[in-house]
Copies of this chain bind each other. A is one copy, B any other.
């Protein structure tokens, strides 16, 4: 009997479909029943994290996230996973709302970065909101690592917004490539794709980087936890 994984989704909706595809692809199966059961909230109505953290918005998404977690548990979730890096800033509100465990994409990714980095630096390809709230700084520091962020945050935000509105296009790809190359130039060749919008265009990271996707670290843990 597999455990049912609850997905706190919709941030964005493409990334939620992507994690479902990755979970499916990661599971050897002969029939439907070999696949991992999921209950997925494609919750497109969570207040914008970018507005709250970067634009002085007054609507804190915590209450909506806690409500989503409660509904997923009511829907049968045994374990929660959230395919959105930025929203992990509100993880305490989610964990406080339910009694089932929630996987920690941030800590899983920092531990993986620690297995790769040789010079103590990790490039973080994520939303400027993630840099502003220091989402990865503490967890990386506990592994003796230092986060290095892309400097052109206006460009990063433009790319994220374009990915949300029109999907993968050359401009967003060029922005991600430039950010990744700049991090390499500053010594951060180990890099994390730390925004699930960028998870839609992983091939646009610089070929000089040793990059991984935080979403893939979450998927790896989902595959383990479903059978735990």
Q: A-side interface residues toward B, CB under 8 Å?
A: 2, 10-14, 16-17, 20-21, 24, 29-46, 48, 71-72, 74-76, 161, 164-165
Contact = CB atoms under 8 A, between A and B. Distances in A.
A16 B37 CA distance: 12
A172 B163 CA distance: 34
Contacts of A36: 42, 44
A40 B38 contact: yes
A45 B33 CA distance: 5
Contact of A31 (B16, B34, B37, B48): B48
B10 A17 contact: no
Nearest to A165: B30
Contacts of A21: 17
Closest CB pairs A-B (n = 5): A75-B75, A38-B42, A35-B44, A40-B40, A74-B74
20 contacts: A10-B32, A11-B32, A12-B35, A14-B24, A17-B20, A17-B24, A29-B164, A30-B165, A31-B48, A33-B48, A34-B44, A35-B42, A37-B41, A37-B43, A37-B45, A40-B41, A41-B75, A41-B76, A74-B75, A75-B76
A81 to B, nearest CB: 13
A39 B38 CA distance: 11
